[in-house]
């Protein structure tokens, strides 16, 4: 499944990964899973899109509110 491949690649790349696809292909779910996994490892995540709705949809599916930051000492 392409979403599993995107997830594995996102956790392996040192800088960024672009998730691209037509509507209904699971992009939001994949991006949310990537964000949860990365923040669980203490990494910072930036989600961008050409629409606010896409960003808020991903943020809403995580346990952290949009705009929140995890700071490590």
1-14 pLDDT, tens digit per residue, is: 677 888 888 888 88
User: What gap in Å lies between CA 55 and CA 4, rounded to an integer?
Assistant: 20
Given this model, what pLDDT does residue 69 score? 55
How does DSSP classify residue 44?
-
Average pLDDT score, the chain: 80
On whether the pTM is more than 0.75, the answer is no
The mean pLDDT of 14-38, rounded to a whole number, is 87
Phi/psi of residue 25, nearest 5 degrees: -100, 5
The angle, 0 to 180 degrees and rounded to 10, between the axes of the packed helices 27-40 and 52-60 is 50
pLDDT at 73: 42
């Amino acid at each position: 499944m392409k979403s599993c491949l995107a997830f594995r690649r996102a956790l392996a790349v040192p800088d960024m990964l672009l998730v691209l696809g037509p509507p209904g292909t699971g992009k939001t779910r994949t991006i949310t899973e990537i964000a949860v996994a990365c923040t669980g490892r203490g990494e910072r995540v930036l989600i961008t899109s050409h629409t606010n709705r896409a960003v808020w949809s991903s943020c809403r599916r995580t346990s952290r509110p949009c705009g929140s930051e995890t700071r490590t000492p």
